[in-house]
Amino acid sequence: MPGSLTIVGTGITLISHITAEAQAAIARADKTFFLVTHPLGEQWLRQLNPNAESLARFYTPQRERLDVYRDITDHVFGAVQAGHTVCAAFYGHPAVFVMPTQDLVRRAQAAGYPVGVLPGISAEDCLFADLRLDPGALGCQSYEATDFLARPRRFDAATPLILWQVGVIGYFQVVDATLDAAKGLALLEVFLRRWYPMEHEVIIYEAAMLPIGEPIITKVALHRLRNAPVTAFSTLYVPPIVPPPVDAHMLEQLGLSSIDSL
Amino acid sequence: MDDTNLVRFMQDLVNNPEELRRYKQDPSAYLASANLSEAAKGLLSQFAAPFMAVEEVSTVFTLSIPSPKQAFSTAQAEPIPLTKTAELHAPNAPVIIEKTGSAKGDQCSLLPLSYIHVSPEKVVSFSLRIAYINPKDTTDYSYVFHISLGSVPKSVEPLAENIPVSLTTIKPLVLTYNKAITRELQVGSSYDPSSGTLKLSFT
């Protein structure tokens, strides 16, 4: 048996976000593995493929996330090596914040197996829609929150800023109900206050996981960020303080009188 | 537990946006006529947001908060009647506040950035963030709800953090997830600055 690997995204909102090609890949695989955020997702994926197997069992509280990812990669790749037509389905976009995807692609390609990665609707796509944010207008900066603090960049406060995983800053373990987000949020708040006014309104965002749900959009002044309600799925959107400046000389070279029409 | 049925229910809603809109307008009314088992409806109430309308109950809801000095600017011996509407909000997850088990009430704690204020004209405003542990919940998970009245002036200092608050309610109250609701305060609602007792009677 030749073995192959297709990695797909189910989208963020269960059922309604999946693409036709992802759904087909899940259904036709002889081994489908999945990782979704909602208990109903398990039933849904087993309707698409009765042999689908959840990877959630690798997530036990306090385990190092890297260990979890390694076990997931080993388990899925084992099925590819056994010659199965394998589909691995991850919620959201399979190449965005899904570490096993990169490892699986690397290992499968190195071993000569056919590999495909099919995009899904990511949390960022949902954020753009729900917050009416067009990255084409003023640009967009996007960082994982812990990484953003640990490796400070020259970011631009005149450009929209998106920080992912603000509810689990500093956590590298699987989190449970004891998660205390306040310490990480306080550090982030202090850091951001170097560039933004205290009263600058930021948004805590969480996409809807079910079709019958609504996104969670909480506006909070920056100086109150540390006490803002967050979960492991929360994202922070920091609007720009001012529009980016226009370079009149460059406009002239481009033959433009303004960039308002862009 | 009929999860398969629930998945089909949601698939049908996804395939019919008009039905989905009807569901979101009034989930409880929609569910009442839906072909789902009671168990499935119960599950939906845990999963969905918004999931159920606020339970229409008449209740007296009393919070006893250690009285802050800054809550009133002049000596105030008598409870101050409260009118207008209070706003309740469960920002993170649905909150079911059970009927109080003992006369002393259930213990909650006040979260940071809670405020209460009495103006010189004896107009009370408050914005309270409360962590509530459902005594019937074996997980000891604390639920957070917000309750507010009017607009607290920005100059008011926050109340002390994590101070114990006693909560009593004569009927259970269900708060919808991430959907603020307003309730008109009935006669009998009051704030007693000397004892810190906030009595809210609403339907």
Can A59 be counted among the known catalytic residues?
Answer: no
Bigger pLDDT: B121 vs A129: A129
- Chain B residues with a Cβ under 8 Å from any Cβ in chain A: 3-4, 6-7, 10-11, 13-14, 20, 23-24, 27, 44, 47-51, 91-92, 111-113, 129, 139, 141, 144, 178
What does the alpha-carbon distance between residue A44 and residue A236 come to, in Å, rounded to a whole number? 30
Is the pLDDT assigned to residue A262 strictly greater than 80?
A: no
Flag the least confident range among A136-145, A224-233, A246-255: A224-233
Q: At CA A113, angle to CA A108 and CA A118, rounded to 5?
A: 75
List the domain boundaries for chain A.
4-121, 124-238
CATH number of the domain located at residue range(s) A124-238 in this protein: 3.30.950
Q: Under DSSP, is residue A77 helix (H, G, I), strand (E, B) or coil?
A: helix
- The pairing of strands A85-90 and A31-35 is parallel
Q: Retrieve residue A153's tokens.
A: 């960049």
Is the pLDDT assigned to residue A126 strictly greater than 90?
A: yes
Flag the least confident range among A132-136, A196-200, B97-101: B97-101
Q: Which helix (H) or strand (E) holds B21?
A: helix B17-25
Is the pLDDT assigned to residue A31 strictly greater than 70?
A: yes
Residues 6+ apart with CB under 8 A from A137: none
Q: Under DSSP, is residue A168 helix (H, G, I), strand (E, B) or coil?
A: helix
Of B7, B13, B20, the CB nearest to A44: B7
Is the Cβ pair A229, B144 closer than 8 Å?
A: yes
Is the pLDDT assigned to residue A18 strictly greater than 60?
A: yes
List the domain boundaries for chain B.
3-47, 59-202
Q: Which residues of B touch A218 (CB under 8 A)?
A: 91
Is the Cβ pair A47, B4 closer than 8 Å?
A: yes
Of B7, B112, B113, the CB nearest to A40: B7
Is the pLDDT assigned to residue A27 strictly greater than 70?
A: yes
How confident is the prediction for chain A on average, in pLDDT? 90
User: Measuring CA to CA, how many Å separate A191 from each of A139, A194, A204, A225?
Assistant: 22, 6, 17, 11
A150-184 per-position pLDDT tens digit: 998 888 999 999 999 999 898 876 666 556 788 89
Set A46, A63, A65, A193: catalytic member: A65
CATH of A4-121, one of 3.40.1010.10, 3.40.50.300, 3.30.30.60, 2.60.200.20: 3.40.1010.10
A35-94 per-position pLDDT tens digit: 988 778 888 899 999 999 999 888 877 788 889 899 999 999 999 999 999 999 999 999
- Exposed, middle or buried: residue A122 (CB in 10 Å: 0-12, 13-18, 19+)? buried
Report pLDDT for A231.
84
Low-confidence residues of chain B: pLDDT under 70: 1-4, 39, 42-43, 45-59, 67-77, 93-94, 101, 136-141, 172, 174, 176-179, 203
Reply yes or no: is the peptide bond before residue B50 cis, omega within 30 of 0.
yes
Confidence of residue A135 (pLDDT cuts 50, 70, 90): very high
Set A91, A113, A196, A205: catalytic member: A91
Tell me the whole-structure pTM to 2 decimals: 0.65
What does the alpha-carbon distance between residue B49 and residue B90 come to, in Å, rounded to a whole number? 11
